[in-house]
């Protein structure tokens, strides 16, 4: 008789930051290695995993509503297992148990290696601290064949007063440099062209080497491009600026979250720098590397943010002329220090403030993109453009999107282009035959 035992299938929903995207690649790889099969169809899966984000209330709500819809699938297929992983899993296991008793497994970000046991364990919660995480090596199923994420450290010790991450990802811990270097050398051997190093605050990377020493070592591997996210402005050192300048593969892009232009707000956010010191660093970086693109994160409506504080942020954005900003309305996170502060800002005022902030930046981004018209840029092709299959999309070293005519180049090809037009969200380019 035929063996009818087919391999079980799973589907992963991913929310949140690059770390979660990469954690999903680890879970996918681990489950496939254990003999399970990924499926495109959640309604046919034996296991559904939610890799969740808790950074703002909205991200959490998105997950909870999808979870509610999935409950109906489970009603039709009672053998289906549901697992909640990621930052909400770590922070809100009680709430998940209460709101969704049909969830079988809860799996925090420090315990994703346990994913291989989900099928064989009954209901279970994996949220204990895992100091071994820095030594954990994973099977990974990467989404791209040319660009790869590489974790260099886990957790965060900064405790910015608004932020849930130190509670969900645990204490800061760095991977040994030899593991990181081996992973990157292997990627290079398999034809990868770009690596993005991941950590909540890469400047505090510390194992047998510090971050700058690690970058020089990575520079010797011979990749085309290396990036990192995210660096904390307080710890951005002259040595790091020099490293970006000197090491050929280091891309001319820095994401440097400012959060606010007001010293009072920065202090209450526990950011431990002033606007003047941030500004100084930006000027210094641009002095050394004039073509560098700098992007940032801004929060409006932090508790106690006055009209004057807000104007200071607008002033900062106008003065520093970022290449792009990610703007957020402050979202209260239970258990953080900011949640206990007086002076919560009403929602409609937050909305007004974010709208004007984004409007102010829009024009700056457009002007900066237009200033690139006529320049020659190297782009790494990612694939057909999202909006127009006749076009191909690639990225500059400064992380800007460039659209070119589709002449069939594959993902991972490097091309030289001349920028014809700068737009709000992208650039148009023409290939310079080479
Ligand atoms: N470790 C990274 C940030 C991770 S979170 C860093 O420090 O740069 C990404 C961004 O989300 C933060 O920079 C901040 O701007 C925003 N953010 C974090 N907590 C938030 C909250 N409670 N409300 C609104 N935005 C928040
Ligand atoms: Fe959150 Fe601050 Fe840590 Fe970034 S550095 S993850 S904003 S606590
Ligand atoms: Fe990332 Fe969201 Fe967690 S931003 S670290 S997945 S709370």
Measured from the alpha carbon of residue 200, the closest ligand is 1
277, burial (CB in 10 Å: exposed 0-12, middle 13-18, buried 19+): middle
In whole angstroms, what is the distance from residue 358 CA to residue 353 CA?
9
The DSSP secondary structure of 205-227, one letter per residue, reads -BSSSBHHHHHHHHHTT--SEEE
pLDDT at 121: 81
Centroid of ligand 2 to alpha carbon of 161 (angstroms): 9
Measured from the alpha carbon of residue 166, the closest ligand is 2
- Average pLDDT over the chain, rounded to an integer: 96
Centroid of ligand 1 to alpha carbon of 261 (angstroms): 15
Indicate the class that CATH gives domain 376-431: mainly beta
Q: DSSP character for 117?
A: G
Centroid of ligand 3 to alpha carbon of 350 (angstroms): 22
Indicate the class that CATH gives domain 133-370: alpha beta
pLDDT digits (tens, 9 = 90+) for 153-200: 999 999 999 999 999 999 999 999 999 999 999 999 999 999 999 999
Residues in the chain: 434
Closest residue by Cα to atom 2, ligand 3, is 53
pLDDT digits (tens, 9 = 90+) for 223-277: 999 999 999 999 999 999 999 999 999 999 999 999 999 999 999 999 999 999 9
In whole angstroms, what is the distance from residue 302 CA to residue 299 CA?
7
Using the atom order of ligand 3, give the atom closest to the CA of residue 15. 6
Q: Where are the beta strands (DSSP E) in 94-175?
A: 105-107, 124-126, 147-151, 153-154, 173-174
In whole angstroms, what is the distance from residue 317 CA to residue 423 CA?
19
Site to substitute for ligand 3 among 20, 49, 88, most atoms within 8 A of C-beta: 20
For domain 4-126, give the CATH superfamily: Methylthiotransferase, N-terminal domain (3.40.50.12160)
Centroid of ligand 1 to alpha carbon of 234 (angstroms): 15
pLDDT at 2: 44
Q: DSSP character for 47?
A: E
Ligand 2 neighbour 201 (Cβ under 6 A): yes
Using the atom order of ligand 1, give the atom closest to the CA of residue 338. 22
pLDDT digits (tens, 9 = 90+) for 72-126: 999 999 899 999 999 999 999 989 999 999 999 999 999 999 999 998 888 889 9
Centroid of ligand 1 to alpha carbon of 432 (angstroms): 39
What residue ranges do the domains of the chain occupy?
4-126, 133-370, 376-431
pLDDT digits (tens, 9 = 90+) for 336-382: 999 999 999 999 999 999 999 999 999 999 999 999 999 999 999 99
Residue 83 has a CB neighbour count (10 Å cut-off) of 23
User: Global pTM?
Assistant: 0.96
Phi–psi pair at 329, nearest 5 degrees? -80, 135
pLDDT at 43: 93
């Amino acid at each position: 008789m035929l063996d009818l035992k087919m391999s079980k299938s799973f589907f992963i929903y991913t929310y949140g930051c690059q770390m979660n995207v990469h954690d999903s690649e680890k879970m996918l790889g681990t489950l496939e290695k254990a003999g399970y099969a990924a499926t495109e169809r959640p309604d046919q899966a034996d296991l559904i995993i939610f890799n969740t984000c808790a950074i703002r209330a909205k991200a959490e709500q998105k997950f909870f509503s999808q979870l509610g819809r999935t409950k109906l699938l489970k009603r039709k297929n009672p053998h289906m297992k549901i697992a909640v992983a990621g930052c909400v899993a770590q922070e809100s296991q009680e709430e998940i148990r209460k709101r969704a008793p049909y969830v079988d497994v809860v799996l925090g970000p420090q315990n994703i290696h346990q994913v291989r046991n989900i099928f064989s364990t009954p209901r279970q919660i994996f949220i204990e601290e895992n100091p071994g995480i820095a030594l954990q090596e994973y099977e990974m199923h990467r989404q791209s064949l040319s660009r790869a994420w590489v974790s260099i450290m886990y957790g965060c010790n900064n405790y910015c007063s608004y932020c849930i991450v130190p509670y969900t990802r645990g204490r800061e811990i760095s991977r040994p440099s030899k593991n990181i270097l081996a992973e990157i050398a292997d990627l290079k051997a398999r034809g990868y062209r770009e690596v993005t190093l991941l950590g909540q605050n890469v400047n505090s990377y510390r194992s047998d080497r510090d971050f700058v020493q690690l970058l020089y070592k990575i520079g010797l591997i011979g990749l085309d491009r290396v990036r990192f996210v995210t660096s904390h402005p307080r710890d951005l050192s002259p040595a790091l600026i020099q490293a970006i300048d000197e090491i050929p593969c280091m891309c001319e892009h820095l994401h440097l979250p400012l959060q606010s232009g007001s010293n009072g707000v920065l202090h209450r956010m526990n950011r431990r720098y002033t606007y003047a010191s941030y500004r100084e660093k930006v000027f210094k970086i641009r002095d050394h590397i004039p073509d560098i693109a700098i992007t940032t994160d801004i929060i409006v409506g932090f508790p106690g943010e006055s009209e004057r504080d807000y104007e200071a942020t607008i002033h900062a954005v106008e003065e520093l002329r970022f290449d792009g900003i990610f703007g957020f309305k402050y979202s209260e996170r239970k258990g953080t220090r900011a949640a206990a502060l007086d002076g919560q800002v009403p929602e409609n005022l937050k909305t007004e403030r974010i709208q004007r902030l984004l409007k102010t930046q829009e024009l700056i981004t457009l002007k900066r993109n237009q200033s690139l018209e006529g320049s020659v840029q190297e782009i790494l092709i990612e694939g057909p453009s999202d909006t127009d299959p006749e076009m191909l999309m690639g990225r500059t070293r400064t992380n800007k999107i460039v659209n070119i005519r589709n002449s069939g180049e594959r993902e991972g090809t490097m091309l030289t282009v001349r920028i014809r037009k700068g737009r709000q969200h992208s650039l148009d380019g023409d290939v310079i035959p080479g």
